[in-house]
Amino acid sequence: MNKISHPIEPEELMAYLDGELTANRATATAAHLGECAECQSVVAGFRGVSQNLKTWKAELAESEMPQAIATALAESRPESREVSPAHRRSWREVLGQHWAILAWAGAVAAVLLVMFGTVRLPGGDANRAFTSVASQMGDSGSDRDRIPLRESTGPTSAGKPAETVLLIAPEEKEAATGHDLVSNGPMIIRSAQLSLITKEFDKARANLEAILKRHRGYVGELKAGGGTGSGRALTATLRVPADQLDATLTEVKTLGRVESESQSGQDVTSQYVDLQARLANARNTEQRLTDLLRHRTGKLSDVLEVEKELDRVRGEIEQMEAERKNMSNQVSYATLNATIAEDYKAQLQVVPPSTSTRLSNAAIEGYRSMADGVVSLALFLLSNGPSLLLWGVVLFFPARLVWKKVRSSFAA
């Protein structure tokens, strides 16, 4: 017995019987089996084993679907997949059986968490991300403490300032932190109102823009104006990153005398979680409907019905997605309503205009009145001329007749 006379290994003969060989190898094996009696006997041995095994039968009599399965099936409506007591019990059993593994895994996870947390916290980016998340959780009291830390953070190893890490678009920031916020703590929409009076209005306005730029905020709305007898005023709705709100407020207060100040925070964690759950459900529904369309065939009316439902679900998804983004944006960016008024001082010494100015004004006034007169006359003639002409023609001959009679009577 050698490999030349038996190019097929016994294991391959078995795989051939099981239909597990590639087409080429199966062809070669079949060809060899046709001419090799020894291999045929090996194959017969395998077949004999299989036939012997088949004598051990375990058949179940046909019967109806058991009640337990029917009940579980009835409870398995997609919208109400709640965990039944029996299922909870089985989880308890599973947890009980694997308590040692679970405890070990938990301990390892805790050690890793502590290790990585301790090692990475003093660094730049990880610490910054952690600080950003923590501050967005509404921990306003510690923001002032964090400002010096940010400013003292040196350049990164790449030579770029560490601040560039946070210079990302609001949408990216939301994507990076929105889900973490929900998993790590409450989501707070922060807002503040500040009213100032300043003696140097122009300087205060320029400084306000500089502060906004420094804290990576932007102007949501801005109105500036002022009237005679009062100072100028500026009303602005500013949006600043939530973790920068306290620092921004501190700097804005230096622009003048604070008349009033207020802060508020709205916890939207439950709304956000609810929105995410509804969004996930809608996406699941969309996936199922898409699968239905892809894999099922049916009447055209059914297909159209599914298409219609799919459109509705997609519309809901887009609406909820926009709502979620808006909420994340509101959490990520706090709103600061600032009012800056000028400290008004009445002008006691009014300087009269000069003679040349008065002559110039008089000349301009004269020219303006002459032009106005010409224009008024032209307008009068254009609007009333046709009527006057008509009445003139109509009254000319009677008037002439009367005039002649009067002249003749006087002459007589």
Partner 1 sequence: MLEFQCGSHPAFEQLFARYRGPLYGFFRRRLNGDQRAEDLTQETFVAVIRASARYEPRALVRTYLYSIAMNLLAAERRKQFRDSPPGELAPEPVTNHAPDAALWIRQALERLDDSEREILMLREYEQLSYAEIAELMKLSVNTVRSRLFRSRMALKGYLEPTQKVSHAVTAGDEKESVKLARAEGEAI
Spatial contact of 237 and 337, defined as CB atoms under 8 Å apart: yes
Among 53, 39, 47, CA closest to 17 = 47
Residue 52 engages partner 1 in binding (rule: CB under 8 A): yes
The residue (of 23 and 60) whose beta carbon lies closer to partner 1 is: 60
Q: Exactly one of 5, 361, 376, 384 binds partner 1 (CB under 8 A); which one?
A: 5
Integer-rounded Cα Rg, in Å, for the chain is: 45
- Contact between 57 and partner 1 by CB under 8 A: the answer reads yes
> What's the sign of the alpha-carbon dihedral 42, 46, 51, 52?
positive
Separation CA 323–CA 244 (nearest Å): 24
- The H-or-E segment that residue 258 falls in is strand 257-267
Give yes or no for a contact between 17 and 47, defined as CB atoms under 8 angstroms apart. yes
Is the Cβ of residue 5 or residue 360 nearer to partner 1 in the bound state? 5
CB 218 within 8 A of CB 212: yes
Phi and psi, residue 388, nearest 5°: -60, -40
For partner 1, the closer CB: 50 or 319: 50
Closest CA to 303 of 313, 290, 314: 290
Q: Tokens 């770029």 correspond to what residue? A: 160
Identified binder of partner 1 from the candidate list 30, 31, 49, 110, rule CB under 8 A: 49
Buried b (16+ CB within 10 A) or exposed e, 203-236: ebbebbeebbeebbbeeeeeeeeeeeeeebbbeb
Which residue stretch of 14-22, 247-255, 355-363, 372-380 sits at the interface with partner 1 (rule: CB under 8 A)?
14-22
Phi, psi of 57 (to 5 degrees): -105, 145
Closer of 49 and 108 to partner 1 (Cβ): 49
Among 23, 37, 348, 351, binds partner 1 (CB under 8 A): 37
Q: Is 46 in the site for partner 1 (CB under 8 A)?
A: yes
Which residue in 187, 169, 168 sits closest to 178, CA to CA?
187
- Of 220, 291, 309, 208, which Cα lies nearest the Cα of 252? 208
In the complex with partner 1, the residue whose CB is nearer, 21 or 341, is 21
Interface residue with partner 1 among 42, 204, 327, 336 (CB under 8 A) is: 42
Closer residue to partner 1 (CB): 58 or 382: 58
Residue range at the interface with partner 1 (CB under 8 A); choices 77-85, 105-113, 140-148, 311-319:
77-85
SS3 217: coil
Interface pick for partner 1 out of 16, 29, 32, 39 (rule CB under 8 A):
39
Q: Which is nearer to partner 1, 43 or 238 (CB)?
A: 43
What stretch of H or E contains 195? Answer: strand 188-198
Question: Of the ranges 73-81, 106-114, 249-257, 352-360, which one interacts with partner 1 (CB under 8 A)?
Answer: 73-81
Q: How far apart are CA 99 and CA 101, in angstroms?
A: 6
In degrees, to the nearest 5, what angle opens at C-alpha 366 toward C-alphas 360 and 369?
140
Residue 1 in contact with partner 1, rule: CB under 8 A? yes
Q: How far is the CB of 120 from partner 1 (least distance, A)?
A: 33
Interface residue with partner 1 among 24, 35, 78, 148 (CB under 8 A) is 78
Q: Give the x/- contact pattern for partner 1 in 238-277, rule: CB under 8 A.
A: ----------------------------------------
Among 22, 34, 81, 227, binds partner 1 (CB under 8 A): 81
Q: Pick from 4, 22, 23, 60: which binds partner 1 (CB under 8 A)?
A: 60
Query: Judging by DSSP bridges, how do beta strands 218-225 and 233-241 pair with one another?
Result: antiparallel
Per CB under 8 A, the list member of 30, 31, 69, 363 interacting with partner 1 is 69
Residues in the interface with partner 1 (CB under 8 A) total: 51
Of 50-58, 161-169, 321-329, 339-347, the segment contacting partner 1 by CB under 8 A is 50-58
Considering the rule CB under 8 A, would residue 87 count as an interface residue with partner 1? yes
What does the binding site for partner 1 look like in residue numbers (CB under 8 A)?
1, 5-6, 9-11, 14-15, 18, 20, 37-39, 41-42, 45-46, 48-50, 52-60, 65-66, 68-69, 72-73, 76-78, 81, 83-84, 87, 93-94, 97, 284, 288, 291-292, 295-296
